[in-house]
Amino acid sequence: MPESSNSGGQARPAKATARGHHPLARYLATRLGLSVLLVFGVTLVTFVLTNLVPADPVQAALGEQAAADPQIVAQFRKQAGLDQPLPVQYVNYLGRLLTGNLGTSNQTRLPVSQEIAKAFPATAELALVAILISIVIGVALGLWAALRRRRAADHVIRAVSLVGLSIPTFWLALLMYYIFFFKLRIFPGSGRLSPTAIAPPHVTGLYTVDSLLAGQLDNFADALSHLILPALVLALYTVGLLTRFSRSSVLDVLNQDFVKAAKAKGLPARVVVTRYVLRGALVPIITIVGLAFGSLLSGTVLVEKVFAWHGIGEYAFTAATKLDLPAVMGVGLVVGIVYIGINFLVDVLYGVIDPRVRIQ
């Protein structure tokens, strides 16, 4: 047997130890480096947009009246470092960001970072529940459609997912709020808790989790019932997205030889689908989950206002409508970094799931 002597297991581990790095560690280091570069890119974008793009950044920061006074303007320029060369300004900007200084809101005169930190848990709770809903429903529908390819179920699911991708989220939010709260009173109204309820002691900032940790079951039920409607509205688009991508990923896998081989082994259909098909489709599906998070974060800006959900989305909506530039930039920066972080997590998951990345 010529091939049995040289291609067993001894050559490859030796190579890996010679380089001195675990393959997974090397892979993760690369991905982390790319993510950090992207974060710098994001700060560059917000820097350019804050300091260069507005027709008059001074006026944008000071407001019209103050900007008319040359003395105030000169003082402001000096104070803000606007009289220094651009690279220096950028370095100063980065320095301020590193200390957590995102500027001061033009509207509330409060530090943007403080306001975003206050709003963050609400959005995190909403987005996490929405992404969970999307994954469960989207992957299930996509799998079902792929297994029933070209039959009635497939066509129906396809049409439904296209509708999900076509509905303007902010309009759907308004419609659902009107129907289920205002008319039918099935779901409670706006906010994260009923007006009479007292927020659970702060641990994570997620009311559902915190109320459970504190053992307040009625508070948990209240928080959950407030959460469901906005989360469903937010999830509809991503359900459509995930359904379509899961369908095509599963179809790709169904055509692979290893599925035919699994069937030839006489395994029950259930085992073939869960163990072979779904696992094969997992990597592309996870990629799409990462991307879907982007749509979700976008969606919060359009949905939260309608439900008076005091999160980053509502903050961004108010900031945008009032043209509060520092606040808008702060949201852009934070959401961009969160999104990069999520996609880095997706890369980590890849490495954990796929042995071809994990072991070499």
Interface residues for other proteins in 205-264 (CB under 8 A)?
A: 248, 251-252, 254-264
Give least dist CB 211 to other proteins, A.
29
The CB-side HSE value for 24 (13 A sphere, CA atoms) comes to 12
Give least dist CB 14 to other proteins, A.
13
Q: What is the DSSP string of 57-124?
A: HHHHHH-HHHHT-HHHHHHHHHHHTTTS-HHHHHHHHHHHHHTT---B-TTT-SBHHHHHHHHHHHHH
Give least dist CB 316 to other proteins, A.
7
User: Which position among 21, 78, 202, 275 is part of the footprint of other proteins (CB under 8 A)?
Assistant: 275
Partnered with residue 332 across adjacent β-strands are none
Binding span for other proteins by CB under 8 A among 19-27, 97-105, 164-172, 219-227: 164-172
Give least dist CB 155 to other proteins, A.
9
Residue placing its CB nearer to other proteins in the complex, 95 or 258: 258
Give least dist CB 346 to other proteins, A.
13
Q: How many CB atoms lie within 10 A of CB 162?
A: 12
- Tell whether residue 129 is a contact of other proteins (CB under 8 A): no
Say if CB 133 and CB 239 are below 8 A apart. yes
State how far the alpha carbon of 299 is from the alpha carbons of 119, 172, 183, 230, 320, in Å.
Answer: 16, 11, 24, 10, 14
Residue placing its CB nearer to other proteins in the complex, 232 or 254: 254
Residues numbered 39 to 98 that lie near other proteins (CB under 8 A) are: 41-42, 45-46, 49-50, 53-55
Give least dist CB 265 to other proteins, A.
4
Task: Give the residue from 106, 47, 22 showing the smallest Cα distance to 333.
Answer: 47
Binding span for other proteins by CB under 8 A among 62-70, 111-119, 175-183, 209-217: 175-183
State how far the alpha carbon of 71 is from the alpha carbons of 85, 258, 345, in Å.
Answer: 21, 75, 49
- Tell whether residue 271 is a contact of other proteins (CB under 8 A): yes
